[in-house]
Structure 1
Amino acid sequence: MKNRWFQYISILIVCVLVGLVIALLMKNLNVTNLGGKSLQELQNSIIDYQKKNEDLNNRNARLYEYLRELEAELAGGSGESYLHIVDEKEQYAVFAGLRAAQNAGVVITLTPVEGYRMQDAVIRQLVNELSALGAQAIAINEERKVATTEVRTSQD
């Protein structure tokens, strides 16, 4: 009986010690999250964020000034800014595929090697390169490419 009580007490003491060790380890983990960076690195990060914030504030101020200029031109009866906005809107509509392109542009014909099928990866790479080069409108098999267009191999 005495031996059993000794076992229970020793197990209890071991469990309490293990619990304390785990608690101390967890406390040290929480403290060292920022400890990985030196004070100088943290200060540099703060300075970088302050510069980015200042740049964004300056850009925001420029955009508000531009907006005030546009409103002043509209209020003054000058239609130049309105025409400029309409031209920009039409240009973006062409890029988005909402308007037809003005000319035929360049026609590229891809022909696979005999006995092989045209791989969709080749077409995707070509389309991505054309887009990166600033192509205004891209059509594949007379289908206009828009933002949601997917290029994949068909089963036929």
Structure 2
Amino acid sequence: MNRFLPLLLLPLLGAAPTVRHTPPDSARLLTLRVNGQAVAADTISSRFFLSDTRTLRLNIIRADDPDGEGLTILIDRFPIQTGTYSFQEILSGRNRDASYRFGKTAAYSKSCPDNPGSVTITAINGAKHWLAGSYRCTVCESGRGGKRFTLEGTFRYPVEKE
């Protein structure tokens, strides 16, 4: 018993080994900023889809408009690998663009004279079917004097088959 006495005193000295609780491997982490301002994303309604033709579609819904369309980003011919997929690849025959709808506002990346946008995939978990990365795009309301929106955020999100 005397040999265990020093072990009993370790917690009092702060030298006891600590048990670290690691967060669950949740694949529903999603952020959204509109023109730099944080907007809550609806992680229940938002969806990421991958079709048989390897079109990746990110549909990010705002928490304050769960029935709305939110932000939709298309990446045609997604090779299912990490990398950055820019919108400016029209000449290669790839369809990479974004659209945004919130209330009466409708904006599209193709409505901007310069529509910089990209999705960066930093991790792929094939066993659990999720992607991690970030996105950034500029969309413009169509018509004269339309507003310009910059949408950006990060994700670690499950991918469903479309």
Shorter-chain TM-score: what band?
Answer: under 0.3
Higher helix share: 1
- TM-score, normalised to structure 2, is 0.19
| Structure with higher RCO (Cα < 8 A, 6+ apart) | 2
Give TM-score, length-normalised by structure 1: 0.19
Structure with higher strand content: 2
